Structure 1
């Protein structure tokens, strides 16, 4: 429910009151005594779905942007006429659940802080995320998402597109681009300082850290996170639900992979940054695409009827463009997913082959202790480089046939030339 406070321009009082009476809207009128170009102030409650059509009709009756119109939340309205108004506008569908176009625009603008605050909070969140990645701490990484101010620009571009506010659209796009650059740069600088000052162990392999490695080789499931964040963000802002938690979800799609890209750059491994940078870009594009589609489906259109066809054409072009770019990135992520699947399949096959060989009667005295696959550093399409098979057996010399047999059988499971190392542990009889 909303309470609308409306200043009435000179000469428009009767027209506006007639409009409200025709719609059977309760109102209170107070005289305006500020000696300006307004004669009165009208207060009237409205169901949330009625705000947009009523304000549009009042604008046609003479309320322009120079007048003051304030829309605030109303906790309770006790009125038979108001209940009838609710029955008329609240139909239980998407369009009746959403807030008005005017409120949506104001909400999108309010979610974007000033540039100084935005830049500072983005840098801080990237630094915290980098620390969390290097510590391999999911809790710290989640904390970085909470302080990231990304939801405003991420949703503002979609809102600006559908309501024909090009200024909001351009500002949001610039904020997003600058945010990505700042996040990756801040993460790279911080990670370089950490490395050069030996805060982390010298020779640290970033690929061995789970929180980092999973973002250096992203897969197609990452698209679901970004698309879900975009839809959830738009639904939350369009229905007036708190966007705080949704902002964390959008930050989850952007900040950690940006920090991972910065870490890879600081470690002098630019190829390792390809996957995480691609993940950042595809997530940004997916959030914008999901936002555009959700807003248009929810029924938001520009205020000016004459600009609707042009806006619809522009939105369609942007949706097609975003979908095409997201598809290209999806193919790229699909390649990474396929490579990861191949690696996982090879690891399982290598384990099985080692078990089969050592189950042979010829090697009955030997026991398989561990099979470890070492991957290469050809990011983002990593593959097997070495297989280390640790076996135990009786004291004395290792059976020479084991190494040859294992190497032959394991290499049959992949198209790549994999080195097979055998580590022999002699077991002392007691």
Structure 2
């Protein structure tokens, strides 16, 4: 269930209440006239089944409540109410399959913004991966994958393409490209410093490295795994099962590929640098394509579900 807190202008409250009452899957409606001060208006509270949430939010936006008042949405972790149970049963579809497009757009907007924290995380992840590729240490590679925040901008690109939000697409691409560029440049400097300290050597990089040589040897499986991870990642975001993102993070080699490219470039090992760059490109392409296809499929399935329910089947 979702909890909605709305601030509505007094003249729009009746329309908002009517919309809530007509939306299947809503309950616990509360109206507090004149309770809001900034902005001034009425306070309207209600609970809605997740599978009916997107329809209700779209209706509220059509009424302009996001411009003239406020719309706040919270997840309800526990609701002990027979009315809530009945509302969830009446709502069409399954809660796990429902996509809150407004929430997805807002979440990816936040995760795809180029910030100091984002740059710090992706840079640290790339330097950790640099240690992993030189030492041929798979544990460090997995750790770097888990630390890397690059799935946020990738999800932003997928969402922007499906929802046709050019500004979100631009912001996400800037975060993705600039983040990797800064991380790789810093890692080049890090490599020179580690070489001067005698901790990194070209001999280590050129060794067989059985645990990490896949990073600069892209193949068909690179694209397949990235595509599967992209689909899983988008499902984890749309179904609010964020724990699955950890599995996605450690299944693709974007950050390790960027790290290997930076280290190889530092040592003049251009064959590895190019192979790592190919690996990075394949992974990014696979994630985006699969993410877009996943969102389009969910959008089609949900619209079909709505059409079936509206026709009475």
Mark the CA change 1:4 to 1:78 in structure 2 (over 3 Å): closer, same or farther: same
Cα deviation, 1:338-378, whole Å, max 9, x if unaligned, reads xxxxxxxxxxxxxxxxxxxxxxxxxxxxxxxxxxxxxxxxx
Normalising by structure 1, we get a TM-score of: 0.64
Q: Structure 1 residues 147, 15: CA separation in 2 closer, same or farther (over 3 Å shift)?
A: same
Instruction: Show structure 2 runs of 5+ residues with no match.
Output: 302-313
Report the alpha carbon displacement of residue 62 of structure 1 after superposing the two structures with TM.
4.7
Change (3 A) 1:270 1:39: same
Cα gap change, 1:44 to 1:271, in 2 (>3 Å) = same
Are 1:63 and 2:65 matched, yes or no? yes
1:9 positional shift: 1.4
Q: 1:188 maps to what in 2? A: 188
TM-score by length of 2: 0.86
Deviation at 1:184, TM superposition (A): 2.9
Q: What SS does the corresponding residue of 2:279 show, helix, strand or coil?
A: helix
Residue of structure 1 equivalent to 2:284: 284
SS in 1 for 2:253: helix
The separation in 1 between residues aligned to 2:124 and 2:11, in whole angstroms, is 54
Measured after TM superposition, the shift of residue 90 of structure 1 is 4.4
Contact 1:13 1:40 in 2 (8 A): yes
Report SS of the residue matched to 1:208: coil
> Distance in 2 between the 1:223 and 1:71 partners?
37
Structure-2 residue corresponding to 1:19 = 19
Alignment partner of 1:146 is 2:143: no
Name the one with the larger helix percent.
Answer: 2
Q: What is the alpha-carbon distance in structure 1 between the residues aligned to residue 98 and residue 247 of structure 2? A: 17
Name the residue aligned to 2:175. Answer: 175
Deviation of 1:131 after TM superposition, in Å, equals 0.7
Secondary structure of the residue aligned to 1:30 is strand
What is the rounded CA distance, in whole Å, between the counterparts of 2:281 and 2:219 in structure 1? 14
Q: Which residue of 1 aligns with 2:309?
A: none
Q: Tell me the residue number matched to 2:79.
A: 77
The correspondence of residues 410-425 of structure 1 with structure 2, limited to 5 A, is none
Cα distance, 1:205 vs structure 2? 5.2
Whole-angstrom distance in 1 between the partners of 2:37 and 2:186: 54
Question: SS of 1:69's equivalent?
Answer: strand
1:197-236 map, 5 Å: 197-200=197-200, 203-204=203-204, 206-236=206-236
Contact 1:206 1:212 in 2 (8 A): no
Distance 1:300 1:102, change over 3 A: farther
CA drift at 1:182: 2.6
Structure 2: distance between partners of 1:136 and 1:265: 17
Whether the 8 Å CA contact 2:114–2:174 is kept in 1: the answer is: no
Greater relative contact order: 1 or 2 (C-alpha under 8 angstroms, separation 6 or more)?
2
Which has the higher Rg, Structure 1 or Structure 2? 1
Deviation at 1:207, TM superposition (A): 3.6
Which residues in structure 2 correspond to 1:226-375 (within 5 Å)?
Answer: 226-243=226-243, 244-246=245-247, 248-249=249-250, 252-299=252-299
Provide the alpha-carbon RMSD of the alignment. Answer: 2.4
Structure 1: tracts of 5 or more residues without a match: 302-430
SS of 1:77 mapped into structure 2: coil
SS in 1 for 2:214: helix
Deviation at 1:140, TM superposition (A): 1.4
Aligned equivalents of 2:124, 2:39: Cα separation in 1:
48
Distance 2:202 2:284 in 1: 34
Deviations along 1:130-165, whole A, 9 cap, x unmatched? 111111111111111222111210101111222222
Residue 250 of structure 2 aligns to a residue whose secondary structure is: helix
How far, CA to CA, are the matches of 1:127 and 1:36 in structure 2? Answer: 47
* C-alpha distance in 1 between matches for 2:202 and 2:296: 52
After alignment, is 162-171 or 113-122 more displaced?
A: 113-122
Q: Deviation per CA, 1:96-134, whole angstroms, max 9, x where unpaired?
A: 623311111122123235521111211111111111111
The 1-side partners of 2:62 and 2:297 are apart by 26
SS of residue matched to 2:11: coil
SS in 1 for 2:67: coil
Residue number in structure 2 paired with 1:399: none
Aligned-residue offset at 1:202: 6.7
